[in-house]
Amino acid sequence: MDFTWRLRPQGEYYDPEDIYGDEPRVFSVKINHGGEFTDYPGREYVNGKVSYIDWVEFDKFSVDVLREMLKDIGYSVDDVFNFFVKDPNVCLDFGLRHFTDDDELDYVYDQLRKGCKLVDLYVEIGESRIKDSTVMSLALLDNVGEDNVVEDESESSEAVSEGESESSDKENSDEEDPDYTFGQEPDNPVFDYEVDMSQFKACVDFDPDEVNETIRDARNENTEEELRQEDITCDHEDFSDKDDNCTLLEKVAKKVRKKRKITGNVSDSYLPFSIGQLIPDKKQLNDMVKTYAVKSRRQIYILKNDKLRFRVICLGTNPTLGSTEGQNSKFRGVGLKQDKRHLKPTCPWAVQISRRTEKESWCVKTITSQHHCLQTREVGLYTMSQIAKEIQPMIESNPDMPLPAIQDMLVKNHQLNVSIQKVFRAKRIATTRIIGDYREQYGILRSYCEALLRANPGFKMCGREILGLDGCFMKGPFPGQILTAVGVDGNNGIYPVAYALVEAETFKSWEWFLELLKDDLGLGDSTNFTFISDRQKGLLPALSKVFPESEHRFCLRHIHQNLKKDWPGDVYKNLLYGVASKTSMPYFENAMEEMKIAEPGFHEKLSTIPASSWSKAHFSGRAKCDILLNNICEVFNRQLIGARDKPVITCLEFIRVYMTKRIVNVKKVQAKSHGPLTPHAQEVFNKIKEEASQLNVLMVDAEQYQVNSSRSQCVVNMKNRTCTCRKWDLTGMPCKHAVAAINDMARNDIRIGVPEELVDQVYWLSTWKKVYENVINPIPGPENWIPSPCPTKLLPPKHHKQVGRPQKKRKKSVGEAEVEAHFDSEGKMTRKGYTTKCSKCGNLGHNSRTCKGQGGENVENVVHAPSENVENVVQAPSENQVAGGENKTRKKCGKCGSLGHNSRTCKGLGGENVQESQSVSQGAPIDVQLQFFGSLCMQFVYAVCVCSLCLQFCLQFC
């Protein structure tokens, strides 16, 4: 049956749950339109209207259909709409999700699959006022296609560090990058494919009680609702038909409850208990009591709780206004820690539940449903576990939700006081339930690994004989390192080959990892495989031991980082890259000679590093790849940021899910690709063909060609497929000289085929598709894992907790912190490190606007026109100054303590002369004293300071 959506008339009551019934394909849409959102926090939708669209079919709902709905409401098709869907469990501050097209409606579809019959949508016309990060996009990454193949490193921010969980360090998104990027190679940009891991959820912690908890709650709610309905509508004759499976006690209890309600007895509307009600277990009983305490806002206390008896009372009070009796009552502060078992409650509310044997269900025996106390905002049964259970859906959809926002939401929903410490612990409990327990997952790690191995025995398929090796650290409570081996596919994209979790990055761990990699890839001791790394600790000796004949390249970025301390700046970086990118030995030697002349120290330091590990001129052509940077590993490590702070199995599952989604996304790109070569290879080869058209070719014979340009001359051998520039040898792709020779062969009627046929097979589209034929198979949940036969149980690694807050940010490289210091929080460059000079007084440290008395007419005369007075002051020293010379050394006399001379050359200021001088200064007239102290001041100014302030002081007072 097909349904047609309709606009609900204003004022018509319509309950989708009742109208639609069991029809799962239709739902209603609540559209809030014509208004705008206020700013965060306390966001609201103001000046808007509400319209309802009913009988919307699930399979036909789309953004275009939504636009048609707005057209029926009264809007124009040409209007610019901003669509938002609200999470039913979260407020507007954090519950909005933005979407623009059909591919971003997965969140809406998930809500409908869960049984939601009313979707709450918000529409803003024109530019949206929401600019903050509290609104998440339903498409954190664009659709996979030709336009979404991005250069990860070139567009990523520099100098990034690991974020911290539950801290403000996550505010800077660029600090999540695992390494400080050197930049992309112009000829070898590393590509990755967009994988949306924002909705990743791992099911690795199996807890039967937790799994059945939701089922019990649902059954309990249904039972309570049925009992309330039966109390109102059923009669005595209905029991014979509907209650065949009920016990005699339940049948009699229903009749009694009906009779009591008819007589008008008052009952608590929140009370989940009824006389004769059977409760299967103690856990459900506790949950019912806690839920009632929160909803009723009463100080409920479990007085008796053993194997056969369960008694609940209310310790609330009802103080007398205008007297101090209630304040001095022994019930004051009942929420404090004290022995409540001996308290005599003033509220008569109580529930008595018991059972005769431990095998029977609990039965409600006695209920006193009236309260004589006031409601309170301090409920002791509103525990951390209750809060964690309530906020778990919100934390699952928004893990970074701030604690004050959660606290504010709980207080508004329940009108209860909740401390920020309790919210913090509840969020930690909810997070543990979502991502798993750090310690417990080590106990089932063997079972997980065996299940993963049974589902994925592994496959060998990469294409190029080159692997990047790197490691990144774990950020959880237990230490560890993730070792990775990443290859390069035919489209210059990363291809993860292997990863392992080890205790530390040491020689033993790298040796173990490389031995397993050697066995899995079937490599021998004399293999010519090529590896590129960052020269990690323990990797070099391990690689020399496991693969002694392999070619080992060093990442040029890390070489530059080691040299950057003594030779900072882009000049040296460009100089290093220019030398390393030379592809032939003559060009390399010439560049090194030029470096030696220009920067001998830099050349000497660089010569200590083997050129075979960082220069293209020394690389072999076996790998068909001439990359200089280990960006292939950096790109992959950056994708693991969301996994490294999670428990061990959750972390491994994150990596597996990412690799699975990545293969699917690559296949989508391959389906849109057409041509003999991969998209990136075709783009590079087109540029080579354009450059080849500008070259001159001299044909020697059918095999040899001389190719000239304005600055170089190369020889191409078509039979051996070589060129003296060596780019064809290094990359497997014909260089511009070879393409020019191919074009000349075509002009001379020599059949050689299209130039793409001479490109190595690793760049062929067919080879690229063959690489991604294999997939990573899924694995079942932990309840289906076969227990490991190993008798021992894995324990978490020993970890010594350091004093203070754990550091999760990486150590920044040399010069990186200095560069970041020049930028403020808004990304603008600051004047930090620059000294300001005042334009009035000429002093440093302030400007003319903040100049306080240093400037003025006198200062300008002294500083800007130091004619006669200043000359006299500086060049007419006192008698003692003449005796001491020019005093440029600023020495201090050991006799008189004056500056500008020593005790050997002291003339009249030391010894008796000092005494005479003191006596003269004490008993002489005022003008003589001023003349004496003026000479001393002039001596100090001339010997120590000649700034304008001191000169002005001397001119005025001396």
Q: What is the 3-state secondary structure (H, E, C) of 442-469?
A: HCCHHHHHHHHHHHCCCCCCCCCCEEEE
List pLDDT tens digits, range 356-366. 888 889 999 99
Write down the pLDDT at residue 473.
87
Distance CA(347)–CA(301), nearest Å, equals 12
Confidence of residue 211 (pLDDT cuts 50, 70, 90): very low
Determine contact, residues 105/99, Cβ cutoff 8 Å: yes
Write down the pLDDT at residue 854.
59
Determine contact, residues 480/473, Cβ cutoff 8 Å: yes
Encoded tokens for 772 = 């991604």
Name the residue with tokens 């990442």.
555
6-134 to CATH, choices 3.30.2290.10, 3.40.190.10, 3.90.650.10, 3.10.20.90 = 3.10.20.90
Distance CA(911)–CA(95), nearest Å, equals 87
> pLDDT at residue 170 above 80?
no
Of 581, 579, 627, 582, nearest to 603 by C-alpha is 579
Write down the pLDDT at residue 859.
37
Encoded tokens for 462 = 């990469």
**Can you list the alpha helix ranges (DSSP code H) found in 698-807?**
727-731, 736-747, 765-771
Residues composing the chain: 958
| Domain coordinates in residue numbering, the chain | 6-134, 277-318+341-434, 436-464+477-504+513-521+632-674+764-797+939-957, 677-763
Provide the 3-class DSSP secondary structure of residue 281.
coil
List pLDDT tens digits, range 39-76. 876 788 888 889 988 888 877 888 888 888 888 888 88
CB atoms within 10 A of CB 454: 13
Write down the pLDDT at residue 810.
67
Distance CA(255)–CA(191), nearest Å, equals 73
Q: In what order do the strands lie in the sheet with 96-99?
A: 6-7, 49-57, 26-33, 118-125, 81-86, 96-99, 136-137
Write down the pLDDT at residue 138.
44
Determine contact, residues 54/9, Cβ cutoff 8 Å: no
List pLDDT tens digits, range 581-640. 999 999 999 999 999 998 999 999 999 999 999 999 999 988 999 999 999 999 999 999
Confidence of residue 212 (pLDDT cuts 50, 70, 90): very low
CB atoms within 10 A of CB 89: 14
The residues facing 97 across adjacent strands are 85, 136
* 414-420 LR contacts (CB < 8 Å, sep 24+): 414/294, 414/297, 414/382, 415/297, 415/377, 416/294, 416/297, 416/377, 416/378, 416/379, 416/382, 417/377, 417/378, 418/382, 418/387
Determine contact, residues 859/912, Cβ cutoff 8 Å: no
Write down the pLDDT at residue 898.
73
> pLDDT at residue 237 above 60?
no
> pLDDT at residue 761 above 60?
yes
The region of weakest confidence among 130-144, 385-399, 799-813 is 130-144
> pLDDT at residue 954 above 70?
no
Distance CA(542)–CA(9), nearest Å, equals 76
Confidence of residue 251 (pLDDT cuts 50, 70, 90): low
Across the range 847-866, mean pLDDT stands at: 55
Across the range 290-314, mean pLDDT stands at: 92
Percentage of residues of the chain with pLDDT beyond 70: 70
Amino acid at 407: Q
- Taking each helix axis as running N to C, give the angle between helix 282-296 and helix 208-233, from 0 to 180 degrees, rounded to the nearest 10: 60
List pLDDT tens digits, range 313-342. 999 887 766 544 444 443 444 444 455 555
Percentage of residues of the chain with pLDDT beyond 90: 34
Write down the pLDDT at residue 81.
85
CB atoms within 10 A of CB 542: 21
The region of weakest confidence among 191-200, 225-234, 510-519 is 225-234
Of 711, 700, 710, nearest to 741 by C-alpha is 700
Confidence of residue 711 (pLDDT cuts 50, 70, 90): confident
Write down the pLDDT at residue 778.
92
Of 629, 533, 621, nearest to 580 by C-alpha is 629
> pLDDT at residue 556 above 80?
yes
Distance CA(629)–CA(466), nearest Å, equals 13
Distance CA(29)–CA(121), nearest Å, equals 7
Write down the pLDDT at residue 794.
87
List pLDDT tens digits, range 96-113. 888 877 767 777 777 777
Write down the pLDDT at residue 733.
94
CB atoms within 10 A of CB 419: 9
The region of weakest confidence among 105-119, 172-186, 307-321, 461-475 is 172-186
Arithmetic mean of pLDDT over the chain: 76
List pLDDT tens digits, range 914-940. 344 444 444 444 444 444 444 445 444
The region of weakest confidence among 531-540, 768-777, 870-879 is 870-879
Determine contact, residues 757/652, Cβ cutoff 8 Å: no
Across the range 783-801, mean pLDDT stands at: 84
Amino acid at 572: Y
Across the range 204-220, mean pLDDT stands at: 44
Instruction: Report the chain's C-alpha Rg in angstroms.
Output: 41
The DSSP code for 483 is: E
Write down the pLDDT at residue 223.
39
> pLDDT at residue 863 above 70?
no
Across the range 119-123, mean pLDDT stands at: 89
Of 185, 177, 199, nearest to 637 by C-alpha is 177
Across the range 493-501, mean pLDDT stands at: 93
> H or E stretch including 957?
helix 948-957
**Can you list the alpha helix ranges (DSSP code H) found in 74-207?**
106-113, 152-155
Q: What are phi and psi of 567, to 5 degrees?
A: -130, 75
Across the range 205-232, mean pLDDT stands at: 41
